[in-house]
Structure 1
Amino acid sequence: MCHIRAGHIFLALLACLLSLPPGEAAAQSAGSVQQNFANSLTSVPSEPLAASGAFYVPVYSSVAMSQGKLRADFSVTLSVHNASDTTPLVLKRIAYFDTSGRLVESYLKSPVALKPFSTVEVSIAMADTRGGTGANFVVDWAASGEIAEPVVEALMVGGVGAGHYAFISQGRPTRLVGKN
């Protein structure tokens, strides 16, 4: 009987991800969320959208290593999860910004609605370093009524030489602060 440790499986999967040819690892284009995740989507509610919010998700398509002498590039997968078991989640915007705050890409042509407990993802290839060391996503959402707050996070996977790295960045709800 063969005994495989979970860590070995993870490393094997990571090695496969890192070996993808650049042509197969291109960034998703606007509209592909609708195409790639059609089974996760439902009709946008016709009633007014009474609840809304936004998430800011810091991501890293590149990281400086060894006192800045070496750069590691990472693939990025942004996942947006509808945490509600009953209510559709409307995504109004998924936008990717670079280190200087310039819009790199917008991933929705129009609002889409996620079925309860469903997920959509946006992928940035390891070869796509347009975001730089301080890239980020902004996800604007809404719902027709009370809803569980969505879960938004990004997985970065990459490596340098024989070293491979994977880490997660959790989205943070954006709230206005200051004057009351």
Structure 2
Amino acid sequence: MASGAAADPASSLQQNFAASLTAVPAEPATVSGAFYVPVYSSVAMTPGRMRADFSVTLSVHNASESRPLTLQRIDYFDTAGARVEAYVKGPVALKPFGTIEIFLPVKDVRGGTGANFVVEWAASGEIAEPVVEALMVGGIGSGHYAFISQGRPIRLVGRKQ
């Protein structure tokens, strides 16, 4: 799996998930979208004292049975909104029902308590909306915790039609 500490996360992603990838479609994209995925590499357990660190696994699933899903951007941001890592240098395409993952180990706390991913996607025709979610796993003392954060589509609001 790709790690935030990898020398070239984009190359690692393509190597580790080559079986899930296919050629980027030659047809122009007719539909696109983006997901915002809040993740928690660290969580404050008590104010200013105790912190629990978590591993993070971001999963991007192509929910289409028949069309490839093009991933145009997967960026990781920290609590202050600064980009920490870019995981895609150019478009990559997921096979139908294919999945890729990005793994951040427990020791990688660069994102902090308000970290997030942005995943931009496109397709060359009608397609099932991708499924994007993150699994956080960690513990403190003898207690272990695991939770999921679902990606939320990024949509503009407040514009008059």
- TM-score > 0.5, shorter chain as reference: yes
2:71 corresponds to 1:94: no
2:112 corresponds to 1:132: yes
Give the Cα–Cα distance (whole angstroms) in 2 for the partners of residues 163 and 68 of structure 1. Answer: 20
CA shift, 1:173, in A, is 0.3
RMSD (Å), alpha carbons? 1.1
Amino acid at match of 2:114: G
More helix by percentage: 1
Runs of at least 5 residues in structure 1 that lack an aligned partner in the other structure: 1-24
CA gap of 1:136–1:117, structure 2 versus 1, over 3 A, is same
8 Å contact 2:62–2:95 — kept in the other structure? yes
Give the Cα–Cα distance (whole angstroms) in 2 for the partners of residues 27 and 119 of structure 1. Answer: 21
1:31 is paired with a residue whose SS is helix
**Matches for 1:13-28 after TM superposition, within 5 Å:** 27-28=5-6
CA shift, 1:66, in A, is 2.8
CA shift, 1:80, in A, is 0.1
Equivalent residue, structure 2, for 1:77: 57
Give the Cα–Cα distance (whole angstroms) in 1 for the partners of residues 38 and 132 of structure 2. Answer: 11
2:84 corresponds to 1:115: no
Computing the radius of gyration over CA atoms, which structure comes out larger, 1 or 2? Answer: 1
Give the Cα–Cα distance (whole angstroms) in 2 for the partners of residues 179 and 38 of structure 1. Answer: 41
- Normalised TM-score (structure 2): 0.94
Runs of at least 5 residues in structure 2 that lack an aligned partner in the other structure: none
- Normalised TM-score (structure 1): 0.84
Amino acid at match of 2:138: G
2:159 corresponds to 1:176: no
Could you give the per-residue CA deviations for residues 67-111 of structure 1, whole angstroms, max 9, x where no partner exists?
A: 442000000000000000000000000000000000000001211
Amino acid at match of 1:109: K
2:132 is paired with a residue whose SS is strand
8 Å contact 2:4–2:85 — kept in the other structure? no
Give the Cα–Cα distance (whole angstroms) in 1 for the partners of residues 44 and 138 of structure 2. Answer: 12
Equivalent residue, structure 1, for 2:121: 141
8 Å contact 1:60–1:132 — kept in the other structure? yes
8 Å contact 2:39–2:114 — kept in the other structure? yes
CA gap of 1:141–1:26, structure 2 versus 1, over 3 A, is closer
CA shift, 1:52, in A, is 0.1
Percent identity over the alignment? 72
Give the Cα–Cα distance (whole angstroms) in 2 for the partners of residues 115 and 26 of structure 1. Answer: 24
CA shift, 1:154, in A, is 0.1
Could you give the per-residue CA deviations for residues 39-73 of structure 1, whole angstroms, max 9, x where no partner exists?
A: 00000000110000000000000000034420000
CA shift, 1:26, in A, is 6.2
Moved more, 59-68 or 169-178: 59-68
8 Å contact 2:60–2:131 — kept in the other structure? yes
Of 12, 31, 47 in structure 1, the residue corresponding to residue 27 of structure 2 is 47
